[in-house]
Structure 1
Amino acid sequence: MVSVTTLACLTIATLLVAVLPVVLFWKLKPRFGFERREVILGIAVFALFSMVIERGLHGFVLSNATTAAWLANPAAFVAYAALAAGVCEEVGRYLAMKWLVSRHPQTLERRGTALGYGIGHGGAEAWLAGVLVQAQWIVYAVLANRNELDEHFASVPLDALMRLHLILGSLSPQYAALFLVERVAAFVFQIGFSVLMWQMLRERFRYTLPFMIAAHALIGVPAALFQARLIPLVAADAVYLVFGLIVVRALVRYFRSGGGRGAPTTSI
């Protein structure tokens, strides 16, 4: 059984994560003038490079006996998990922004181009990796409270059904709070990465892609450490809370200071 309080907290947290990118899109679009195509491009890149390419890479690596044995080492697992996310997402972001500038050079003049892209990329992650997954657990919790879960999963092996019950039993208001922190921080990081990459492309920084891969991988280390069971979830999310607040402050100062204005119109 999942308590009513826990179920309410999970629902509220999921709804907050769901509405965050939508509200920011409608609030910030008139002010910063980004186009829908930039938001859609961000959504498409996350869906392709993270949900398809990165997951395909994980499936290949984990299904190979040699690489699976190598990843049994916690240090190797942390390095792989952090780098895989960094490489897949930042290569996608880099290619998308290069394509956008080559097709629409005027985007370099708009300070909100990267903001629109970041809302799309981060919003896709919030929904695909957060809202939809959490909504599924809410449905399972409701079924469990109605004593309908076992019937619903009658064809599932017993050990898998037991794991499902164990996960449901671990849900709590604290878990909902950690979920909210994790998803909001991830959304903020995606906007921060997008703005940083866009600014470096405008300045023609030669090592933009390797720098962004390294930065993304570093942000991914706490999550990888948790997945390797080297640190608790609360420790990883505490790191993300602190760095998320730092990134929010940096973004506010960047846009208040006019960051992104007066870009040249030549393509990169």
Structure 2
Amino acid sequence: MSVAPITLVCLSLATLFVAALPVSLYRRLRQPLALDWRDTIAGVAVFAFFAAVIERALNDHVLHGNAATAQLMANPVFFVLYGAFAAGVCEEVGRYIAMRLIERRAARKPNIPADSAAFGYGIGHAGAEAWFVGVLVQLQWIVFAVLANRGNLDEHLSNLTLDSVLRVHLILSSLSPLFAGVFAIERTAAFVFQIALSVLMWRGVRAGWKGILPLAILVHALIDVPAAMYQARLAPLAAVDGFYAVAAAVVAVVLFRTCRRKRRVARAA
């Protein structure tokens, strides 16, 4: 089998776009919002530890390692609930801890924009997700596609089982320019949501509101519900991606307006 050149080009462009998104946004906002690189590194570290390590280990145990929970997760309703709240709890607990630590340092810098730390952290958290969940995975499929077009794929996958090799071929056969577009939309929407969640958490932490962590977990879980429903085959991909595209656009507009309004108020004061 082979992957069409146009598909490879579209997938490569979509991957480059997602890879450049956090870097370009950080450079664009670094001076206007007085971003601190330490906040961004904190965001990267939190996602890498709480999502890529803790959440992944929890998922392996619940979905595969424990027979009782694995059987329970065979029910689509329980799978959706678990999938949504597992990500929400792991990531938001990490975000909350990081924000509490960042808030102590930010208190010594009263002249910076109010949401500077939130955006700095959010870009790091969202950027890490974009790379770990998006860029690195798609780079693997691009390499597999190139190997398939050269006729070297099966040789490269010789250490895998027959079922795994067939699964790789099946996924490669499903790749298309539309898939590349869907990938770019999904990762961009996730990027917007992560920054919005960071701003939400930051404002709650700075206000000293004790309910901010449960609220952030709930909001994060609600965002993940459509994706979990698709994985459980309860919703079509087109509907899920359409919802995320519209929701991300609305969130981006609201985020831009509220942050711009706060900057104007700060300047007037």
> In structure 2, do the counterparts of structure 1 residues 187 and 44 end up closer, same or farther at CA, with 3 Å as the change threshold?
same
Paired residue for 1:74?
A: 76
Q: Is the 8 A contact 1:107 1:113 kept in 2?
A: no
Specify which of 57, 72, 94 is matched with residue 92 of structure 1. 94
Mean Cα displacement is larger for which, 28-37 or 202-211?
202-211
| 1:181-192 map, 5 Å | 181-192=185-196
| 1:1-268 map, 5 Å | 1-62=2-63, 63-106=65-108, 110-111=113-114, 112-258=116-262
TM-score (norm 2): 0.94
Q: Is the 8 A contact 1:188 1:247 kept in 2?
A: yes
How far, CA to CA, are the matches of 1:238 and 1:70 in structure 2? 30
> In structure 2, do the counterparts of structure 1 residues 74 and 259 end up closer, same or farther at CA, with 3 Å as the change threshold?
farther
Q: Deviations over 1:146-173 (max 9, x none)?
A: 1100011112111111111000000011
Mean Cα displacement is larger for which, 11-20 or 148-157?
148-157
Q: Deviations over 1:197-252 (max 9, x none)?
A: 11122222220000000000000001100111111222111111011001110111
Q: Is the 8 A contact 1:82 1:221 kept in 2?
A: yes
> In structure 2, do the counterparts of structure 1 residues 225 and 260 end up closer, same or farther at CA, with 3 Å as the change threshold?
farther
**Offset at 1:106?**
2.9
**Offset at 1:99?**
1.2
Q: Deviations over 1:62-86 (max 9, x none)?
A: 2100000100000000000000000
Mean Cα displacement is larger for which, 121-130 or 199-208?
199-208
- Percentage of pairs with the same residue: 53
**Offset at 1:27?**
0.9
**Offset at 1:113?**
1.1
Give the letter for the 2:25 counterpart: L
**Offset at 1:259?**
5.3
Paired residue for 1:265?
A: none
Q: Which runs of 5+ in 2 are unaligned?
A: none
Q: Is the 8 A contact 1:110 1:260 kept in 2?
A: no
Q: Deviations over 1:162-196 (max 9, x none)?
A: 11100000001111111000000000100000011
Give the letter for the 1:135 counterpart: L
**Offset at 1:107?**
5.2
Note the aligned Cα RMSD (angstroms).
Answer: 1.4
How far, CA to CA, are the matches of 2:77 and 2:108 in structure 1? 45
Q: Is the 8 A contact 1:54 1:85 kept in 2?
A: yes
Give the letter for the 2:44 counterpart: I
How far, CA to CA, are the matches of 1:35 and 1:3 in structure 2? 43
TM-score (norm 1): 0.95
Q: Is the 8 A contact 2:102 2:117 kept in 1?
A: no
- In the TM superposition, structure 1's runs of 4+ consecutive aligned residues that sit over 6 Å from their partners are none
Give the letter for the 2:76 counterpart: P
**Offset at 1:21?**
0.4
